[in-house]
Amino acid sequence: MKGWWNRLARVDLSSRKVRYHEIGKQLLKDHVGGRGLGARLLLDEIDPKVDPLEENVLIFAAGPLTGTFVPTSGRFSLSSKSPLTETIMDSNVGGSLGSEFKRAGLDALVIEGKAQEPVMIDITEERIQIKKTDLWGLETGECFSELEKESALIGPAGENQVRYASIMTRGYRVFGRGGLGAIMGSKKLKAITVSGSKRVPVEDEKALKDHVRKAASKLDSSPVTSRGLKKFGTPILVNLLTWLGMFSKHNFREAASEEEADNLSGEKMREKIVQKHEGCYSCPIRCGLKTKTKKKSGKGPEYESVWALGSNIGIFDLEKTTELNYRCNELGLDTISTGGTLACAMEMKEEGLWDELGGFGSDVTGLLDKIAHREGIGEKLAEGSKRLCEKYGCDLSMSVKGMELPAYDPRGAAGQALSFATSNRGGCHLRGYMIGEEIFGVPKLFDRFKTGGKAQLVKRSQERNAYLDSLVMCKFGAFALDEEFYSRFLTSVTGERYTVADLHLVGERIYDMERWFNVKAGFDREDDELPKRFCEPLKKGASSDNVFDMQKMLDDYYEVMGWNEKGEPKKETLERLDIPDI
């Protein structure tokens, strides 16, 4: 069985012991790797009701394509239970960390227990070592300058267990969303370094080279992957979403104007601050942006960040927003949740609920450090917008299951609204990215305001993204590549025959398995809802005067998913997908 090493390492920080295990051929075949393998292992590792900052584990997992020459296969997955949402959580990152991990001869790494003093883990193909570290207290850039290898590490936000702390990798790529950096902080784990040189075994190299050649041609001919993302990066979306009335401002209270949004657009970034483009391991798209303001230089911001730290908090100055993004990277803060929490607090200020910071458009530079160090007002903001609103008895948190929503106003796309509401990890556009079907027309364009048939489309999108996260591959490639490419890649590498239907079965198994974890953690239909604000139509813009009947959409969705009216997978669904009890 090629592509996989069938090898898992378990690191216990409490006992300082390292053990190795075989994963099992059937487990790998049924869950592929990455997000799927991480979710399956998590079911065995923890009780879904545990405190995420006390008895949790971190599960890093590569996929069978990781470390090969398949285009866009340079991502790496991490699974755990979120301190922010208390749901199951996964995140994945680009760059070269995943390929180094795979070349070290590992498919997965489980980290359990807690160290008594700050430590780091060093992974090579010969051994894994737990080492005392003096990096604790340093910001991320300072740490990277001290470490020569590919690494994943936390900044002050993770050390102080901010509930939306990120884990940073070299080149300021991010395991973002859900606060997984806080879990590293709770374990006194500052950094993980990785190096490897093993060649990933491939079953049929001749067939794989042929599929890769054809895929490269497709990627090179697609206007999204060959021109839009390559030339402008993800901020190419700003002007498009503004034109559609879905690029909001001021905590989703209204749509941003074209003039306001253009100040933050990919076109303006290319003109004013972009220095060069960069790409992940084995990726021809190269959508990453190296940027420079008058004061600083760094990475990004990406589309989500330029919205969260710009329009959403009432800042339309590109350099200010970019420098806020830089600071989040150095501190190890998730930019979407940081911006969402600040926007919530700013609206609370304007509603007279507190007076500890300014309203929309005010300077928040100093607040980022206070959040990361939990100092003063930062102690409250470090808990996220949902807990902040619960403390003050208001309903201004624009989140689902406690995770702040990203940069797509759900009043502008019915499928994306349903995908937000039913996301297993909380407010997220990457569980089911219906922007493809409802905006770009990939693979086919559907009316974004119609609700009929959207349940089935969302289900397929969620399945597709689940198997892509398990391969582990970048979702941008799917703008150009038919699904058959992914089944051919996997079959050629592993020697196990996979069809597109097989991949969707894997994706369905993963999504229902995650849902089953959340059900056991106490989540139900009441948690599959959008904030009340989205029951009120926008007054201006191309998405104005429009709201969706979410309860009707949920009924349709639960039916196509094989769940009961409470949103619980039915017994026959669990049995069909071979999902074990927890």
What would the pLDDT profile of 428-487 be if each residue is shown by its tens digit?
Answer: 999 999 999 999 998 899 999 999 999 999 999 999 999 999 999 999 999 999 999 999
Q: State the Cα–Cα distance between residues 235 and 311, nearest whole angstrom.
A: 13
Q: State the Cα–Cα distance between residues 291 and 259, nearest whole angstrom.
A: 22
Q: Following DSSP, what letter does each residue of 38-62 receive, concatenated?
A: HHHHHHHH--TTS-TTTS--EEEE-
Q: Is the pTM of this model over 0.85?
A: yes
Across the range 496-513, mean pLDDT stands at 98
DSSP letter, residue 194: E
Q: Which residues 6+ apart lie within 8 Å of 273 measured at CB?
A: 291, 292, 293, 318, 319, 322
Per-residue pLDDT at 579: 95
Please report, rounded to a whole number, the percentage of residues in the chain having pLDDT higher than 90: 98
Classified as helix, coil or strand, 401 is: coil
Provide φ and ψ at 402, rounded to 5°. 90, -5
- pLDDT tens across 264-309, in order? 999 999 999 999 999 999 999 999 999 999 999 999 999 999 999 9
- pLDDT tens across 34-44, in order? 999 999 999 99
CB atoms within 10 A of CB 449: 13
CA–CA–CA angle 65, 67, 72 (5° rounding):
65
Q: Which residues pair with 569 in a beta bridge?
A: 563
Tell whether the model's pLDDT for residue 338 goes beyond 80.
yes
Q: Which two tokens stand for residue 173?
A: 């790529």
DSSP letter, residue 393: T
Per-residue pLDDT at 581: 84
- pLDDT tens across 362-399, in order? 999 999 999 999 999 999 999 999 999 999 999 999 99
Per-residue pLDDT at 431: 95
Across the range 206-222, mean pLDDT stands at 96
Q: Residue 1 — very low, low, confident or very high, per pLDDT cuts 50/70/90?
A: confident
- pLDDT tens across 564-579, in order? 999 999 999 999 999 9
Evaluate whether 398 touches 312 at the Cβ level (below 8 Å): no
Q: Give the residue among 155, 158, 160 at the shortest CA–CA distance from 141.
A: 155
Evaluate whether 189 touches 120 at the Cβ level (below 8 Å): yes
Evaluate whether 477 touches 220 at the Cβ level (below 8 Å): no
CA 580 from chain centre, in angstroms, equals 26
Q: Give the residue among 548, 555, 562, 563 at the shortest CA–CA distance from 438.
A: 548
Rounded to the nearest 10 degrees, the angle between the axes of helix 385-392 and helix 335-350 is: 20
Q: State the Cα–Cα distance between residues 332 and 320, nearest whole angstrom.
A: 18
Q: Name the helix (H) or strand (E) containing 122.
A: strand 119-123
Q: State the Cα–Cα distance between residues 453 and 458, nearest whole angstrom.
A: 9
Evaluate whether 140 touches 174 at the Cβ level (below 8 Å): no
Q: How would you classify the pairing of strands 108-112 and 8-12?
A: parallel
Which range, of 226-230, 302-306, 424-428, 528-532, averages the lowest pLDDT? 226-230
3-state helix, strand, coil in the chain (%, to 5): 45, 15, 40
Q: Which two tokens stand for residue 522?
A: 């106490």
Per-residue pLDDT at 443: 87
Q: Following DSSP, what letter does each residue of 75-116 receive, concatenated?
A: -EEEEEE-TTT-SEEEEEE-SSHHHHHHHTT-SEEEEES--S
Mean residue pLDDT of the chain comes to: 97
DSSP letter, residue 563: B
Q: State the Cα–Cα distance between residues 12 and 212, nearest whole angstrom.
A: 39
Q: Which domains does the chain have, with CATH numbers?
A: 8-194 (3.60.9.10), 235-404 (1.10.569.10), 413-479+499-576 (1.10.599.10)
